[in-house]
A and B are shown apart, each in its own frame.
Chain A
Amino acid sequence: MSQSTSRSPIDVESLVENFNYRRVGKYALVVLFLGFFLVPLETGIMTALKTNSAIARSLPFAPPAGEGFTLTNLEYAFSQLTNSFVNSLLMAVPATLLNVLLASMAAYGLTMVSWRGQLVVFALFLVGVFVPYQAVLVPLAQFWNNMFPLAQMLEPLFAAIPFLQGGHSRLVPLTITHVAYGIPICTVLFRSYYKSLPNSLVEAAKIDGASITKIYRRIVLPLSLPMFGVVFIYQFTQIYNEFLFSFTLITGANHPAAPVTLILPAIGSSTEGIDFGVRMSAAFLAALPTIILYVAFAEQFAKGLRTESG
């Protein structure tokens, strides 16, 4: 040791020591955060798979052992959620599609077409991003119930559709509301993407004689497909998980049009107390569609983004 220090002017030993402390600290932090995020999830899944007595007797995060294992919680939760799954998808899929399409058009108009006052309009969109949902709940309810009772108007129509009830008409104002409130953030996302597209493509199309709508349809829309994927995932998750608008416009878990987020708080609770197994099962089932969407498509969309830009 003394030899090595005398040979080189750099103090190797202290360098190694510093390095080690840093590494240990870093890994400790990583493990801590990993546990912080993963233990509750693991606990939830384990709870969903345990009988009530097993939940009471074993540690929360311990896996179910022997007779403590059951699937009845999941079965029960699924039967309770089936209708609301349909409702949620019936509302969230069209809302997201419409939302993304309109937002991309708006972003195109605000970014690639030049007209007077577009910055002011864009500023309004930005303001829209920051409007808190809580602030608009009462006016929203008044608008859809008193001023423009669209759900009531459409009720007979929905009653005539097989498998649906008249009450499902309430999904229509809910969908429109989601579209309206989702457009600002999606527009901002699209705008940043359109800013990165080379301007010369649009200019070339202009010189080729294409109109504004044709440029959108033939050039901009096909080029923004990867961005469509990204914004679709994001916005679908937002709308699917949204609670306040659903609660305001559909009112309760007992309504035939109630989406998943309205059913969840009510499930598994009764006068005898809370059935944690059913609760956890329902929670994970409810999260399933968004998880599937991420797992199935996120990689593809990311790949799409890379190839398009490279």
Chain B
Amino acid sequence: MGRIQLDHLTKRFGETVAVEDVTIDTEDGEFLILVGPSGCGKSTTLRMIAGLERPTDGDLYIDGDHMNYRVPQNRDIAMVFQDYALYPHMTVRENIRFGLEEEAGYTAAEMDDQVDATAADLGIVDLLDRKPGELSGGQQQRVALGRAIVRDPEVFLMDEPLANLDAKLRSQMRTELQQLQADLDVTTVYVTHNQTEAMTMGDRLAVLNDGRLQQVGEPLTLYHEPANQFVAGFIGEPMMNFLHGYADDETFIGSGLEYPFDDRLADAVGDTDELVLGVRPEAIDVRRADDATGEREPGSHEFRMQVAVSETHGDQNVVSMTVDDEETDHDTLRAVTDGMHVVTQGDSVVVTIDPDTIHVFDGETGETLCNRLLETKPEFTAVSSN
């Protein structure tokens, strides 16, 4: 079936490098997500797999066959576009049927049956005789999916298919797409800039930035063991906190705060000067300074901070804090606290950061020097392998 291999794939438009030296190997039936900010080359990569762009360099294989020079119709792929690209002058039935007409070995009756069966699967039988212009965004999305599914391709390519839907419909379609992909068991490459979509849907994620592949891996691997500062910042919502500073005698000196290293961190840092400390908002412990313990002198991994903004989400609160002094802009620290644990703007708080939860990045290259410790690691592998 459809195993996709990208081998040092590069695409240049004139002087501009859109995709540089990307190597990814998917497994059969895998749901691979290409994720990254706008302009990172993820769509170009997808379009190269589709055959809409020709790679400047490198090789592309689908199912072991070299694809660089093959036109899209000979690649046995189907694609869902961001704007759905439904043919506006055709009915839904004709839209879905269009791709089938080019496949060999179908009689007219078989094609109609196939269309009806696909429409039934997607729950769009009622819409078959309408034109795309009369459909809502979600319905158009289903038709676009139907058009891809009906041809039973080796590979599905999806270019931000949920980007034009409203939030509620998007999360619903997310689930449906996952189910569909699991049912069909077709290799799928899915492009998105939305890290939530990427985390929740993919078997594996490939994070791209500036045309370069940053890291490929399972969602939790990327979350807990990012290869560099970019991946650490991109994956996770709210974003990982970054504290910029330098190392001095086994202590991190940031703006307005000092953080002594333990042995693990000191080893990882070695003699790197410029550092970025990363810590996930959910790993930060916040308590009011006027709690009973607030009176004593803060410990070595505790800081007094002031709440700048507190966002209420119901199940949790996202609290932004800065170091409490009059000086210029310090790095803001965001923490996720329990929903019932309310702090308000201007509150003085004590922040505790466990050294085990700290990621350290090289301040110049952004490379990871060390990732957080995971006591729960065996547990998470057991769950994810189910």
- A residues near B (Cβ < 8 Å) are 198, 200-201, 203-211, 214, 218-219, 222-223, 308
List the 5 closest pairs (A to B, CB-CB), nearest first: A209-B102, A208-B99, A209-B73, A200-B85, A204-B85
A200 engages B98 (CB within 8 Å): no
A213 CB, nearest partner CB in chain B, Å: 12
Q: Pick the residue among A198, A205, A208, A308 that contacts B83 (CB under 8 A).
A: A198
Q: Pick the residue among A198, A206, A208, A218 that contacts B71 (CB under 8 A).
A: A206
Complex contacts, A210 vs chain B, CB 8 Å = 73, 98, 102
B98 engages A208 (CB within 8 Å): yes
B89 engages A222 (CB within 8 Å): yes
B85 engages A203 (CB within 8 Å): yes
B193 interface hit (Cβ, 8 Å): no
Report how far A245 CA is from B147 CA in the complex, Å: 51
- B residues near A (Cβ < 8 Å) are 50-52, 71-73, 77-79, 81-83, 85-89, 98-99, 102-103, 147, 151
Given contacts A218-B98, A223-B88, contact A207 B83 (CB under 8 A): no
Q: A203-B52, A206-B71, A223-B87 are in contact. List 9 more A-B contacts (CB 8 A).
A: A200-B85, A203-B81, A204-B81, A204-B87, A207-B73, A207-B77, A214-B102, A219-B87, A222-B89
B98 engages A207 (CB within 8 Å): no
Given contacts A206-B71, A207-B72, A308-B88, contact A200 B102 (CB under 8 A): no
Report how far A219 CA is from B88 CA in the complex, Å: 9
Complex contacts, B85 vs chain A, CB 8 Å = 198, 200-201, 203-204
Complex contacts, A206 vs chain B, CB 8 Å = 51-52, 71-73
Q: Pick the residue among A198, A204, A208, A222 that contacts B102 (CB under 8 A).
A: A208
Given contacts A223-B88, A308-B88, contact A208 B81 (CB under 8 A): no
Q: Pick the residue among A200, A207, A214, A218 that contacts B78 (CB under 8 A).
A: A207
From B102, which residue of chain A is reached at the shortest CB distance?
A: A209
A207 engages B102 (CB within 8 Å): no
B88 engages A200 (CB within 8 Å): no
Complex contacts, B88 vs chain A, CB 8 Å = 223, 308
Report how far A87 CA is from B83 CA in the complex, Å: 49
Complex contacts, B73 vs chain A, CB 8 Å = 206-211
Complex contacts, B78 vs chain A, CB 8 Å = 207-208
B64 CB, nearest partner CB in chain A, Å: 21
Most buried by B among A204, A206, A207, A214: A207
From B157, which residue of chain A is reached at the shortest CB distance?
A: A207
Report how far A198 CA is from B87 CA in the complex, Å: 10
B79 engages A204 (CB within 8 Å): yes
A253 CB, nearest partner CB in chain B, Å: 46
From A307, which residue of chain B is reached at the shortest CB distance?
A: B133
Complex contacts, A222 vs chain B, CB 8 Å = 89
A224 CB, nearest partner CB in chain B, Å: 10
From B74, which residue of chain A is reached at the shortest CB distance?
A: A209
B89 engages A207 (CB within 8 Å): no
B338 CB, nearest partner CB in chain A, Å: 46
Complex contacts, A219 vs chain B, CB 8 Å = 87
A246 CB, nearest partner CB in chain B, Å: 38
From A218, which residue of chain B is reached at the shortest CB distance?
A: B98
Complex contacts, A205 vs chain B, CB 8 Å = 87, 98
Report how far A206 CA is from B71 CA in the complex, Å: 8
B165 CB, nearest partner CB in chain A, Å: 17
From B79, which residue of chain A is reached at the shortest CB distance?
A: A207
A200 engages B71 (CB within 8 Å): no
Complex contacts, B98 vs chain A, CB 8 Å = 205, 208, 210, 218
Report how far A211 CA is from B102 CA in the complex, Å: 9
Report how far A296 CA is from B154 CA in the complex, Å: 52
A269 CB, nearest partner CB in chain B, Å: 52
Report how far A198 CA is from B52 CA in the complex, Å: 15
Complex contacts, B89 vs chain A, CB 8 Å = 222-223
From A197, which residue of chain B is reached at the shortest CB distance?
A: B88
Complex contacts, A203 vs chain B, CB 8 Å = 50, 52, 72, 79, 81, 85
Report how far A211 CA is from B83 CA in the complex, Å: 22
Report how far A207 CA is from B49 CA in the complex, Å: 11
Report how far A206 CA is from B50 CA in the complex, Å: 10
Complex contacts, B82 vs chain A, CB 8 Å = 200
B81 engages A209 (CB within 8 Å): no
Given contacts A203-B52, A204-B79, contact A209 B87 (CB under 8 A): no
Report how far A214 CA is from B82 CA in the complex, Å: 23
Given contacts A222-B89, A223-B89, contact A200 B81 (CB under 8 A): yes
Complex contacts, B102 vs chain A, CB 8 Å = 208-210, 214
B192 CB, nearest partner CB in chain A, Å: 17
From A214, which residue of chain B is reached at the shortest CB distance?
A: B102
Report how far A218 CA is from B87 CA in the complex, Å: 9
B156 CB, nearest partner CB in chain A, Å: 11
Q: Can you list 16 pairs linking A and B with CB atoms under 8 Å apart? A: A198-B83, A200-B82, A203-B50, A203-B52, A203-B72, A204-B87, A205-B87, A207-B52, A207-B72, A207-B73, A207-B79, A207-B99, A208-B98, A209-B73, A214-B102, A308-B88
A226 CB, nearest partner CB in chain B, Å: 11
B94 CB, nearest partner CB in chain A, Å: 9
Q: Pick the residue among B77, B87, B147 that contacts A201 (CB under 8 A).
A: B87
From A201, which residue of chain B is reached at the shortest CB distance?
A: B85
Given contacts A198-B85, A203-B85, A222-B89, contact A208 B147 (CB under 8 A): yes
Complex contacts, A308 vs chain B, CB 8 Å = 88
Given contacts A208-B102, A223-B89, contact A200 B83 (CB under 8 A): yes
Complex contacts, B52 vs chain A, CB 8 Å = 203, 206-207
Given contacts A218-B98, A219-B87, A222-B89, contact A207 B103 (CB under 8 A): no
Complex contacts, A204 vs chain B, CB 8 Å = 79, 81, 85-87, 147
B183 CB, nearest partner CB in chain A, Å: 22
Complex contacts, B83 vs chain A, CB 8 Å = 198, 200
Report how far A287 CA is from B77 CA in the complex, Å: 56
A204 CB, nearest partner CB in chain B, Å: 4
Report how far A222 CA is from B94 CA in the complex, Å: 13
Complex contacts, B72 vs chain A, CB 8 Å = 203, 206-207, 209
Complex contacts, A200 vs chain B, CB 8 Å = 81-83, 85
